[in-house]
């Protein structure tokens, strides 16, 4: 524990504190900041330094936690030696006052709301990609993964496990979100930029999987603090604290502070970057020039939409030029360097990720190019006009009015008039309305627009980068959200700038004018108190609404329990074993393959198709037997491997983990269950001999069944055997399939044990049509209770099945019913009949 605390201090505080206190760049200016903001900058300078060093080491494939610690410690020592011990701030540096309680309260609020974090380490979606990407950095020390399973695959076997991509970027997919860029060397790169995964790697080294998961909660708290200090400078302490508190309890911030994502990392970094930019270019503190450029540069290694902040900062530089301020070389130099590094990074390391934004630019329509051209012409006209002192005064007066008016008019159009049609999708057309309804409330939207207008009117020239960032992100994402409204997932696009600034602007409108100081007149004091009371009442009502929406999340841990289940599964396989997992088209079981390979270091391959090429797979198995001790298969749906060789059942696995609802155009209000139902099998040497066929449905049947519901067992409603044992079964669907293999030429009888499962009397009776190799065996009415239903097999069909080396299909066609529609219960499945056993003899 002591080592962890010391290491965390070296990573996240020590170098920043030393650099901040160094006697350089007019130290007295930054020393005049409040004690809490000085601490904030010590932390963010350290985070920037650690991020830069870790990314550099990982890009050179030399990263390790010890090297990061050593670099931070060495740099801190160098600064101390160069400063000759002169690290004490001037006497006029403010001591901690009452305002220090505000960030402390925000930190406490964040720790209450954002922990424990989810156990989302499985694959299939972005969160699991981030977590596994970070753990790979800690384990292998590089941004690029050198995957031995990919490198060792014979060229003729690659297509079995690496599905080719349609575009020219990359060779194929290793797992969802992982691109194989060079199969011969096993080079794999994850889908997303690496700064958030770098911090997952740091958390993993400090505290294992728990630390890796906790990283996002810490960044969520850093986002609250960054918003507070941005707001304190822009609109005052009270609105800043209130806006940050509103953000803290907002359902989107709560959800994503518990759920792996990079948007919250971008939120904290961009807000800190905008504050550093204002300190450098508006407050004339040149110390913050390189820091703001570094934070903006690092933001590109979090998410590419950070280019919008770069565009806003560029606009702010042009705006400040109107006032005669020149861009600081201490900002321009590092900014150019970071842009060059980011360009190299996306072209060489993260080419698959860069393909999408490049395609977006290439697909710009004529109207978009025309609008960009008009914007460029407008900027040129403003810059030329600013040469005249009279025009400069007019620009200073009218530019804020034009900006605030344009934003308010655009918001009114988007909220009241914008409608889907043509190329405009419904989720894009309704983006602002959806955002207001689920994350602000209409009253909150009105207050945010009012706060924006007030902020622009009062302090546009003091906060140009912040204001233009709000405009840039809002225009871009409300024009095209680029994601369907599947809550909470839709909120990711709004997290970095739009949501935190909405909260700050609401507080700005609520407490406008309360920073004028204590009036000398009684009337003025009553007016001030009245404003504060009204403001508190308004934000209190909104805060109560936001907290009520977030409260159900506080007791929820997404995918709780999946980690111990994965650990148990990983322990079943040795270092010399190979695990083949069925394809993504067969089931969701592939989501377990990613952590098995990239967290628990097992030899794992995922099939590209549920029906792999027979000769290619047999060739691969022949090769694999010379490389691995045992070859296992994990299957939860039908994968046609039965005809290749003997497949011996090892175990049947079933578990569920909590998964919050994800509804389209509706607010999620309940927790569902994500189910994993699969079997573990071991490949043998040869195909099993012919003989009677017997399959117990619901137990180790995964390779045989398709289009059935999940395994179940029952001992009630007359479904148990006379010995009182559990009966395993599956519900059939309208069309269900069973694979038959290795039957005898003398087989004459097919027997199915089935039950209608107490089908209600007001539902059409259950009937099942049975087809074997597309030949109708019969049509029977199935009653309640498991009973045998027999069908005769023609001799010629039995002979064909016996000679066939591949599987024969048994198809069941059933009329179904829906318990939800008939009985108003929660079960919304379309149910056929309960199938317990199949025999052919």
Per-residue pLDDT reduced to its tens digit, 244-266: 999 999 999 999 999 999 999 99
User: Whole-angstrom Cα distance, residue 671 to residue 731?
Assistant: 24
Tokens at residue 656, please?
Answer: 């569920």
Count other C-beta atoms under 10 Å from residue 685's C-beta. Answer: 8
Q: Is pLDDT above 70 for 786?
A: yes
Rounded to 5°, the CA angle 82-86-89 comes to: 130
Whole-number CA gyration radius for the chain:
32
Look at residue 170 in the predicted model and tell me its pLDDT: 59
Choose between 733 and 722: higher pLDDT.
733
Choose between 38 and 521: higher pLDDT.
38
User: Whole-angstrom Cα distance, residue 211 to residue 520?
Assistant: 54
Reported confidence tier of residue 359, pLDDT bands at 50, 70, 90: low
Reported confidence tier of residue 307, pLDDT bands at 50, 70, 90: very high
Tallying the residues shown for the chain, one arrives at 841
Tokens at residue 181, please?
Answer: 């860029």
Count other C-beta atoms under 10 Å from residue 286's C-beta. Answer: 17
Look at residue 480 in the predicted model and tell me its pLDDT: 85
Alpha helices, DSSP H, located in 286-388: 288-299, 307-322, 329-348, 351-362, 366-385
Specify the 3-state DSSP secondary structure of 307: helix
Longest Cα pair distance anywhere in the chain, in angstroms? 108
Specify the 3-state DSSP secondary structure of 567: helix
Please check whether residue 469 is in contact with residue 270, taking contact to mean a CB–CB distance below 8 angstroms: yes
Could you tell me the pTM of the whole model? 0.91
Tokens at residue 11, please?
Answer: 């990573």
Look at residue 720 in the predicted model and tell me its pLDDT: 43
> Looking at the DSSP assignment, which residues form a beta bridge with residue 769?
779, 813
With a CB cutoff of 8 Å and minimum separation 6, the contacts of 343 are none
Reported confidence tier of residue 367, pLDDT bands at 50, 70, 90: low
Look at residue 716 in the predicted model and tell me its pLDDT: 47
Tokens at residue 452, please?
Answer: 């924006």
User: Whole-angstrom Cα distance, residue 760 to residue 439?
Assistant: 43
Look at residue 721 in the predicted model and tell me its pLDDT: 43
Characterize 154-190 residue by residue with b for buried, 16 or more Cβ atoms within 10 angstroms of its Cβ, and e for exposed.
eeebbbbbbbeeeeebbbbbbbbbbbbbebeebbbbb
Percent of the chain predicted with pLDDT > 70: 91
Reported confidence tier of residue 734, pLDDT bands at 50, 70, 90: very high
Please check whether residue 763 is in contact with residue 817, taking contact to mean a CB–CB distance below 8 angstroms: yes
Tokens at residue 5, please?
Answer: 């605390």
Nearest to 93, CA basis, from 41, 155, 15: 41
Characterize 52-77 residue by residue with b for buried, 16 or more Cβ atoms within 10 angstroms of its Cβ, and e for exposed.
bbbbebbbeeebbbeebbebbeebbe
> Looking at the DSSP assignment, which residues form a beta bridge with residue 835?
730, 754
Alpha helices, DSSP H, located in 765-840: 795-803, 819-823
Q: Is pLDDT above 90 for 281?
A: yes
Distances (CA, A) of 45 to 163, 291, 498, 804: 43, 7, 24, 70
Tokens at residue 520, please?
Answer: 């000398």
Look at residue 663 in the predicted model and tell me its pLDDT: 86
User: Whole-angstrom Cα distance, residue 775 to residue 770?
Assistant: 8
Q: What are phi and psi of 308, to 5 degrees?
A: -65, -40
Across 486-630, the runs of DSSP E, i.e. the strands, are 486-487, 578-581, 603-606
With a CB cutoff of 8 Å and minimum separation 6, the contacts of 110 are 217, 220, 221, 224, 248, 257
Least confident range from 60-64, 103-107, 481-485: namely: 481-485
Q: Is pLDDT above 70 for 31?
A: yes
Mean pLDDT of 288-304: 97
User: Whole-angstrom Cα distance, residue 816 to residue 767?
Assistant: 9
With a CB cutoff of 8 Å and minimum separation 6, the contacts of 459 are 234, 235
Look at residue 382 in the predicted model and tell me its pLDDT: 64
Look at residue 718 in the predicted model and tell me its pLDDT: 45
Look at residue 262 in the predicted model and tell me its pLDDT: 97
Phi-psi region of 286 (alpha: psi -120 to 50; beta: other; left: phi over 0): alpha
Q: Is pLDDT above 90 for 749?
A: yes
User: Whole-angstrom Cα distance, residue 789 to residue 816?
Assistant: 19
Residue pLDDT, tens place only, 547-558: 999 999 999 999
Residue pLDDT, tens place only, 667-722: 888 899 999 989 899 987 655 566 788 999 988 888 888 888 888 887 544 444 44
Nearest to 297, CA basis, from 553, 52, 132, 594: 52
Nearest to 119, CA basis, from 489, 672, 677, 658: 658
Residue pLDDT, tens place only, 189-201: 998 999 999 999 9
Nearest to 681, CA basis, from 567, 615, 582, 597: 582
User: Whole-angstrom Cα distance, residue 42 to residue 16?
Assistant: 4
727-740 and 671-683 strand pairing: unpaired
Nearest to 20, CA basis, from 92, 101, 76: 76
Reported confidence tier of residue 153, pLDDT bands at 50, 70, 90: very high
Least confident range from 280-284, 482-486, 623-627, 687-691: namely: 687-691
Look at residue 791 in the predicted model and tell me its pLDDT: 95
834-840 and 693-696 strand pairing: antiparallel
Residue pLDDT, tens place only, 503-544: 999 999 999 877 656 556 777 677 778 888 899 999 999 999
In order, the DSSP letters of 124-171 are: SSHHHHHHHHHHHHHHH-SSSEE-HHHHHS-GGGHHHHSPBPSSSSSS
Q: Does 116 sit behind a cis peptide bond, omega within 30 degrees of 0 on the bond before it?
A: yes
Q: What are phi and psi of 173, to 5 degrees?
A: -105, 130
Edge-to-edge order in the sheet of strand 647-660:
603-606, 578-581, 631-635, 671-683, 647-660
Mean pLDDT of the chain: 90
Please check whether residue 787 is in contact with residue 752, taking contact to mean a CB–CB distance below 8 angstroms: no
What is the torsion angle, in degrees rounded to the nearest 10, for the CA atoms of residue 824, residue 827, residue 831 and residue 837? -140
Please check whether residue 123 is in contact with residue 129, taking contact to mean a CB–CB distance below 8 angstroms: yes
What is the torsion angle, in degrees rounded to the nearest 10, for the CA atoms of residue 360, residue 364, residue 370 and residue 373? 30
Least confident range from 356-370, 423-437, 823-837: namely: 356-370
Reported confidence tier of residue 358, pLDDT bands at 50, 70, 90: low
Mean pLDDT of 3-25: 95
Please check whether residue 155 is in contact with residue 595, taking contact to mean a CB–CB distance below 8 angstroms: no
Count other C-beta atoms under 10 Å from residue 284's C-beta. Answer: 12
Specify the 3-state DSSP secondary structure of 190: strand
Residue pLDDT, tens place only, 588-635: 999 999 999 999 999 999 999 888 888 888 889 989 999 999 999 998
Look at residue 490 in the predicted model and tell me its pLDDT: 84
What is the torsion angle, in degrees rounded to the nearest 10, for the CA atoms of residue 439, residue 442, residue 448 and residue 450? 180
Please check whether residue 261 is in contact with residue 560, taking contact to mean a CB–CB distance below 8 angstroms: no
Mean pLDDT of 176-184: 92
């Amino acid at each position: 524990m002591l080592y962890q605390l010391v290491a965390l201090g070296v990573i996240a505080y020590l170098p920043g504190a030393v650099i901040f206190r160094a006697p350089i760049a007019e130290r007295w200016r930054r020393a005049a900041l409040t004690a809490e903001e000085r601490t904030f900058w010590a932390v963010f300078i350290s985070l920037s330094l650690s991020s830069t060093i870790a990314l550099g080491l990982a890009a050179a494939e030399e990263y390790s936690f010890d090297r990061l610690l050593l670099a931070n410690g060495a740099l801190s020592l160098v600064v101390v030696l160069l400063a000759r011990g002169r690290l004490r701030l001037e006497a006029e540096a403010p001591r901690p006052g009452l305002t220090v309680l505000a960030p402390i309260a925000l930190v406490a609020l964040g720790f209450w709301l954002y922990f424990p974090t989810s156990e989302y380490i499985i694959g299939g979606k972005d969160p699991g990609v981030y977590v596994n990407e970070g753990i790979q950095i800690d384990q292998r020390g590089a941004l690029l993964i050198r995957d031995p399973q990919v490198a060792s695959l014979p060229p003729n076997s690659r297509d079995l496990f690496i599905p080719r991509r349609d575009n020219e970027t990359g060779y194929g997919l290793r797992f969802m979100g992982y691109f194989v860029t060079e199969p011969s060397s096993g080079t794999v790169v994850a889908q997303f930029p690496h700064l958030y995964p770098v911090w997952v790697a740091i958390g993993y080294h400090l505290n294992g999987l728990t630390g890796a998961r906790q990283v996002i909660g810490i960044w969520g708290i850093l986002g609250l603090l960054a918003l507070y200090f941005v707001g304190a400078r822009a609109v005052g302490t009270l609105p800043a604290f209130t806006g940050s508190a509103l953000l803290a309890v907002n359902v989107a911030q709560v959800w994503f502070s518990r759920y792996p994502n990079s948007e919250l990392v971008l939120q904290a970094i961009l807000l800190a970057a905008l504050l550093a930019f204002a300190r450098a270019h508006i407050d004339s503190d040149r110390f913050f020039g390189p820091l703001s450029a570094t934070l903006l540069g690092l933001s590109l290694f979090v998410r590419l939409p950070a280019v919008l902040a770069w565009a806003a900062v560029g606009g702010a530089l042009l705006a400040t030029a109107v006032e005669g301020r020149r861009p600081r070389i201490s900002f321009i130099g590092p900014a150019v360097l970071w842009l060059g590094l980011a360009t190299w990074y996306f072209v060489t390391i993260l080419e698959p990720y860069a393909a999408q934004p490049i395609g977006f630019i290439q697909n710009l329509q004529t109207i978009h190019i025309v609008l960009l051209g008009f914007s460029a012409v407008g900027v040129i006209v403003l810059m030329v006009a600013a040469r005249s002192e009279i025009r400069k005064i007019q620009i200073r007066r009218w530019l804020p009015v034009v900006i605030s008016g344009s934003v308010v008019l655009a918001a009114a159009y988007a909220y009241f008039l914008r409608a889907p049609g043509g190329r405009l999708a419904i989720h894009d057309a309704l983006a602002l309305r959806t955002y207001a309804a689920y994350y602000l409330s209409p009253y909150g939207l009105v207050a945010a627009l009012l706060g924006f207008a007030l902020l622009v009117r009062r302090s546009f020239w003091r906060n140009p980068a912040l204001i233009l960032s709000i405009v840039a992100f809002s225009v871009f994402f409300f024009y095209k959200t680029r994601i369907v409204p599947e809550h909470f997932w839709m909120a990711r696009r709004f997290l970095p700038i739009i949501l935190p600034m909405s909260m700050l602007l609401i507080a700005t409108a609520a407490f406008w004018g309360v920073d004028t100081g204590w009036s000398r007149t009684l009337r003025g004091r009553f007016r001030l108190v009245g404003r504060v009371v009204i403001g508190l009442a308004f934000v209190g009502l909104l805060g109560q609404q936001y907290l009520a929406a977030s409260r159900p999340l506080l007791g929820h841990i997404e995918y709780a329990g999946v980690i111990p289940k994965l650990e148990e599964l990983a322990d079943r396989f040795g270092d010399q074993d190979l695990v083949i997992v069925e394809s993504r088209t067969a089931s969701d079981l592939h989501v377990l393959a990613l952590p098995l390979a990239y967290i628990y270091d097992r030899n794992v391959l995922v099939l590209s198709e549920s029906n792999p090429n027979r000769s290619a797979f047999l060739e691969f198995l022949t090769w694999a037997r010379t490389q691995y001790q045992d070859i296992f298969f994990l299957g939860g749906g039908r994968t046609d491997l039965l005809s290749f060789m003997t497949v011996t059942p090892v175990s049947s696995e079933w578990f569920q983990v909590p998964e919050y609802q994800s509804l389209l155009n509706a607010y999620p209000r309940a927790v569902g269950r994500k189910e994993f139902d699969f079997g573990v099998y071991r490949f043998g040497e040869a195909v099993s001999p012919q003989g009677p066929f017997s399959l117990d449905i619901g137990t180790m049947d995964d390779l045989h069944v398709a289009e059935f519901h999940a395994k179940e067992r029952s001992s009630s409603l007359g479904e148990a055997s006379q010995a009182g044992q559990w009966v395993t079964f599956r519900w059939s669907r309208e069309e269900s399939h069973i694979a038959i293999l290795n039957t005898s030429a003398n087989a004459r009888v097919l027997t199915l044990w089935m039950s209608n499962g107490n089908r209600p009397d007001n539902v059409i009776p259950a009937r099942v049509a049975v087809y074997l190799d597309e030949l109708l065996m019969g049509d029977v009415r199935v009653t309640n209770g498991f009973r045998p239903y027999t069908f005769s097999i023609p001799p010629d069909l039995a002979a064909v099945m016996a000679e066939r080396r591949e599987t024969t299909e048994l198809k069941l066609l059933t009329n179904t019913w829906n318990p939800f529609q008939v009985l108003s219960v929660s079960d919304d499945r379309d149910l056929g009949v309960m199938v317990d056993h199949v025999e052919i003899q």
